[in-house]
Amino acid sequence: MQQQHRDFQGATRTYRHVLELDPANKFAWYQLGIIAQANGNTSYARAAYDKALKIDPSFMSALFSEAMMLKSSDPDRSMRLLQRAAATAPKAASLHMQLGLLLAEKNRNDEAKDAFRRAVAADPALLSQVPERFRNAVSPSPTSSHAGSSR
């Protein structure tokens, strides 16, 4: 509740108290990362996300949050985090979209197409966000999961 009411100092104290009682509480570490990131303390945010991921290497929220935070400063690490997340959530459309965008920036076009295909398959509304040069390659086909629909 403290965090929802933007009492970040109070929420930070509460999460630290939780960690005194349960040092392996991935949710407390994750939320400390969210608060630190919101306050511009990216080094602490990254450390908190990493602690959450040491506890649960497939913790989707921490993988995605850290990846998005690092997208411009460390795109290679961001990509690795998104790839780990994609392995645990193959139908997470926004995750695949973000991965595709990073791969496209690195000119890893075949991998980018695959990520964009997965994103659009999970959420066809994302097609408009796929970079133009990839759209034809990733458009949902009439024989996909929408076969028989009146499109």
CA separation for the pair 72, 78 (Å, rounded): 8
pLDDT in tens, 40-89: 999 999 999 999 999 999 999 999 999 999 999 999 999 999 999 988 88
For domain 1-56, the question of CATH label 1.20.1260.10 is answered with no
Structural domain spans, the chain:
1-56, 57-139
Highest mean pLDDT out of 86-95, 98-107, 138-147: 98-107
Percent of the chain with pLDDT over 90: 76
pTM of the model: 0.79
CATH code of 57-139, in short, is: 1.25.40.10
Enumerate long-range contacts of 130-134, CB under 8 Å, 24 or more apart.
130/97, 130/100, 131/101, 131/104, 134/100, 134/104, 134/109
Least reliable range by pLDDT among 72-76, 77-81, 94-98, 143-147: 143-147
Give residue 141's pLDDT band: very low, low, confident or very high (50, 70, 90): low
pLDDT in tens, 9-50: 889 999 999 999 999 999 999 999 999 999 999 999 999 999
Domains 1-56 and 57-139 share a fold: yes
**pLDDT higher for 107 or 145?**
107
**pLDDT higher for 41 or 136?**
41
Q: What tokens were used for 27? A: 């949710």
